[in-house]
Amino acid sequence: MATLCNTTSSSRPFFGGFATPERNVIFDINDLDETLPAPFEWNLKRLAPSVAIAAEHLALPRSDTARVVTDLVREYRERMVNYGWMRALDVWYDRIDLQKYEDRSADPHIVAAARKRLTERIEAERRKTAPDHLYPKMVSEEGEKPRIKDELPLIFHPTEEMAPGLTSGYAEAIASYRDSLAEHTRVLFDRFHFFDMAIKVVGVGSVGTMCGVGLFLAADNDPLFLQVKEARASVLEPYAGKSLHSNHGQRVIIGQHLMQAASDVFLGWTRGKNGRHFYIRQLRDMKLSPVIEDWDTGMLRQYGRMCAHALARAHARSGDAAMIAGYMGSGQTFDDAICEFATEYCSQNRNDYRAFLAAIREGRIEARMEQE
C-alpha cells in the first residue's frame, strides 16, 4: 500500500480516545468498519464537512467555520509533509497521547480547560471499565452460572434461529476467532472460558447488523467482555474494488492494525454458522467520544486539528506520505478547494434536513418519538 491512491480509507472515520495495551490513553481513528484501499482525499472530504456541520450546529459565525475548516486541512497537509521526511519506523511508532498533547498555536486558556476536562473524563472512564464496576452492572450470578443481564430492548439473549451455534456454545466460531489471534495472545485468551453471549444493540451505523457481547471468565470476578460485530462488504467496494480478504471481519481488523497507532490485543475475526462475518474486540476499553454541545470556536478548532493529525498519521502508515504531500503542494490551493467543498456539503446537508422536516410535516414520512 505505497501508492498515492492506495491509502487505506474509511467512509466514516470517527475520532476519539481509547486505551492502548499499556493502558495509556491515545487519540486516534476508532471506527474502521469500512476500511478499504482507496484515494486518501475521500477521508479528508468526509472529515472537513463534518467539522463544518458541527460548527453550524454550534451556531458559530460563518467566518469562524471557514477558519476552523481551513486550519484542519492545513494541519493535515503540514503533518503529511513532516511524515514524508520522517523515517519509516518513526512514522509507525508515532502516536497522539491525549494527556500530553499540546497545540502551540492554540489559546493556552483553551488548552488548559480542555486538559482539565479530559483528565476528568479519563478518570470517569477508568472507573466505568474496571471489572469491579462493569461486571456487577452487566452480569447476574443468579442460577448455575454467571449470565449477562437482559436490558430490553438494547441487550437480550438470542434464539438458536437468530444466532446459530447457541446450543454448542459457539464453539466453532470461538475456535476460529482464537486462530485469528497472535500466538502470544492465544496464551492469554486460553485462560478465559466462555460463559454467555447476548445481542447488544449498538450505534446508528450498525443498525440492521448482528452485534453482541460475550462473557468470558478466567476466575471469579476476573471477566473479559468481548464485543462481536457483524462485518459486511465495505460501502467503498463499488468505487474502489473488492477486498483482498475473504472475511470482512479480517478486512476491518487488518485496516485497524494498519491505521491505528495501537490496537486492542483481542482484535480478531470469525465466521458464524449462518455465513455471517464478524470482528471481535474488547467492550468499552476506555473509549472517549467528543461531546461538543458546549464547545466554542477554539475548542472545535483544536479538536479538528487533532483529527487531521490522526488522519495524516494513519495515511502515512498505510500510504506514501511523500507522494501525498507532493500531490497537495505547499500552497493553499488544496486547503481552499477542500474548504469550498466542505462549505457546499454543509449547505446541501442543511437543505436535505429541511426537506426531511417538510416531508414529516406533510405526512409523506411518518416519524415516531420514542417514550423514555
pLDDT at 187 over 90: yes
Cα separation, 340 vs 110, in Å, equals 27
Q: Which three cell numbers stand for residue 310?
A: 490522526
- Measured between alpha carbons, how far is 294 from 303 in angstroms, rounded to an integer? 13
Domain ranges of the chain: 7-128+295-361, 142-282
- Closest CA relative to residue 229, chosen from 241, 244, 214: 214
pLDDT number for residue 17: 74
DSSP 89-136: HHHHH--EETTT---TTS-HHHHHHHHHHHHHHHHHHHHHHSHHHHHH
Asked if pLDDT for residue 94 goes beyond 50, the answer is yes
Amino acid, single-letter form, for residue 340: E
77, three cell numbers: 497537509
Q: Give per-residue pLDDT as tens, 329-345.
A: 998 999 999 999 999 99
- 162/233: higher pLDDT: 233
- What value does the mean pLDDT of the chain take? 84
Helix (H, G, I), strand (E, B) or coil at 37: strand
Q: Could you give the CA distance from residue 140 to residue 143 in angstroms, rounded to a whole number?
A: 8
Question: How far, in Å, CA of 332 to CA of 77, rounded?
Answer: 10
At residue 168 the predicted structure's pLDDT band, cuts being 50, 70 and 90, is confident
Does the predicted TM-score (pTM) go above 0.75? yes
Report the largest interatomic distance among the alpha carbons of the chain, rounded to a whole angstrom. Answer: 68
pLDDT at 372: 45
Closest listed residue to residue 43, CA positions, set 1, 89, 10, 4: 10
